[in-house]
Amino acid sequence: MNRIVKTVIFALGVMCVTAPLFAEGETDLVVTQPTTPISTEQGMAAWDRIYAVASHPRCANCHVDARNIPIWTDDATGMDRVHGMHINAGESRLGAEGLMCATCHMTSTRPNTIEHAPPHAGIPWQLAPVEFLWHGQSSVDICEQMRDADRNGGRDGAGLVEHILHDVSLGGFIAWGFNPGAGREPAPGTLQNHLDDMITWTAASMPCPND
């Protein structure tokens, strides 16, 4: 079962507030909100790890520009190329103008166990909004975008954390990135690490490398 939990833990003077939120899948997540100030240095260390996730092919390859063309990366060589079969997701970002992404990428929470098969997730497959451009972008570029409410879906720090929790509750793309299945390299770290880093970075007021 996939449980995202909020628990109350008292240890070394730090309180963590937690309680069950969802039940689906195979990952237990614990939301730990800091009750002591988080320094800019701690926030930047967390950001560096967030950037390593966001710039990884499992995440960046569908965060592409207005040409609406998803990217494939050869995990063995690290070389990028455009998605095969001349795929263009169109302005809809889900292929409505031509061939829907869901034609091959089914919506399912079942594990991705077949190597080289089109991957699937628990939400309809699509590109991220064009404002969420990550592919080929620097740490500064992605950091500025992620903390800009005009370019991140209108989210503040709490909203960015909730975005992860909501995605995982549905078996969505963030969850898939850390468990992409046979033959695919996962995003670095763990889903819990990523959630912890997002909480730390947002608690530090979302510092960026160019601040």
**Structure confidence at residue 6 as a pLDDT band (50, 70, 90):** very low
Tell whether 3 is covered by a domain: no
Tell whether 167 is covered by a domain: yes
Q: Range of 145's domain?
A: 39-203
- Taking the C-alpha atoms of residue 131 and residue 87, their distance in angstroms, rounded to an integer, is 20
- Taking the C-alpha atoms of residue 144 and residue 35, their distance in angstroms, rounded to an integer, is 26
30: β partners: 5
Six-digit token string for 96: 């409505």
Residue 12: its pLDDT value, please? 26
Interval 70-128: pLDDT, tens: 999 987 888 999 999 999 999 999 999 999 999 999 999 999 999 989 999 999 999 99
Tell whether 10 is covered by a domain: no
14: β partners: 11
Number of domains composing the chain: 1
Tell whether 1 is covered by a domain: no
Tell whether 110 is covered by a domain: yes
Residue 28: its pLDDT value, please? 84
Tell whether 9 is covered by a domain: no
Tell whether 199 is covered by a domain: yes
Residue 27: its pLDDT value, please? 61
Interval 7-56: pLDDT, tens: 322 222 233 333 333 333 446 899 999 999 999 999 999 999 999 999 99
**Single-letter code of the amino acid located at 144:** E
Tell whether 158 is covered by a domain: yes
- The predicted model gives 135-164 an average pLDDT of 98
**Structure confidence at residue 181 as a pLDDT band (50, 70, 90):** very high
Q: What is the DSSP letter of 36?
A: S
pTM: 0.88
Q: Are 23 and 153 in contact (CB under 8 A)?
A: no
